Structure 1
Amino acid sequence: MLLPLASYLLWAVFVVSWWAAGAGLGTGDLALAVSVLGIVGLAASVAASYLVYALLNRASLHFGRTRALLRNAISGLESRIGTAGQEALLPLTSAEEGLYKLSRGEHERSAVLWALLASVPIVGWIFLVAALWFLSRDFAKHCRLEELVLEDVDRTMKGAGLQGVSVRNVPVGSRDVLGAAVVIASLIELLSVFLLGPAGGLVLIYLTVGAFSLIWLDLSIRDPNSHFSFHSQLEPDILRSLPDSVSGAGTEGVA
């Protein structure tokens, strides 16, 4: 969080200084300071954008690993289900349908593209909010659909005479309220252009969006931790009952 915070503070000082210089509130030395701040802020933005890349890439790897894990678990159960009867066949069919919905419902987002957009000076914070909003919604949807599949896998395993897996809800919030707050605050602050002028209004919007983005970044780092912890317990449970189910998922991401 230090790099995003440094980037925000540097660009905050930059835009305020630029606004002051444009309003004739500074001296010639202020123009030089603004130029230096711009160069340093650009370097900080590029470095901070790596965090955006890391968060999106972490999500993509986890989603891919989860799909592989569930796919292999269902395949392993299919080979055991022949003599188990309807008690295991029905939840297995439901698990296959749930996995299909999970696979169709998850979209691959380019971590590189969003990191590049977030590194754009000043306006990159708007792209950052969009990326974090997409990320939080993707995680919330992933957890919801994954839980449905795991419930069916658990029922199938028990119906086939195997030890079931621990299924507990570990939701990750979509943070839609936070996203709506950013949009509403930005729209309200657009009215400030009548008091502060176009430049002053844009400066105020940047300060607000940037502050919300820092909060959202911290939440995006911490929110999935409980879900990852759940997976660190889930995979050994599946491995004990279906030894071949995790081996095929080992190269498709991290929990």
Structure 2
Amino acid sequence: MYVTDYSPLLLSLKVAGISTFFVFIFGVFFAHLFSRKKFFGKSIIESLFMLPLVLPPTVVGFGLLILFGKNGFIGSWLLNWFDFQVVFTWIGAVIASIVVSFPLMYQSAAAAFESLDARMENAARTMGASNWRVFWTISFRLAWPGLLAGLVLSFARGLGEFGATLMLAGYIPGKTDTIPMAIYFAVESGQMEKATFWVVIIVALGFSTIMWLNWWSRRNIERYKNDNA
């Protein structure tokens, strides 16, 4: 079947790319902060971070709809001050992707930072290095393999997000129709060939992403073994 409208592919890549950008920044920030700090309520906050990973996507979407709807706390503020509405826009799809993919980034980043030897960072500080320099020259570089794994997984998760996106962004052809949306509504309307086409596309994207991550991980493990042989 020949598909002339490739907007679901372009929109999916756009949404996944933008959401991954923000997820990476906030995931790395909070993971590094929490890996080096101990305070009351830390476990509660981390549990909240990981909650979207275990909740049904529709529940996450319902929470976002309550928050960003016209009568929601954030939604009403955006509407009154900026005359802007998140619901039924591609930005809503980005927000949904950020929320559902953040736990993967945070989990990977936290594991990466916690595996580092804190004595290396402390030694750099005693030599006069600022916390910012210690982070970029030591923490970030040593944790990069784990951070990259979280980055790739977050992108793949954002690419395949459906439930929360449907609740917050809805389905508007040419505006909020990501690939998962296009598949669902193609099946609903009996357009099985169209649904099959998009299934093949998203499976190929997801498979190639995971394959690349596995290849990159094996290459780095082999390099590490050779360097320490």
TM-score (normalised: structure 2) = 0.28
TM-score (normalised: structure 1) = 0.26
Larger radius of gyration: 1
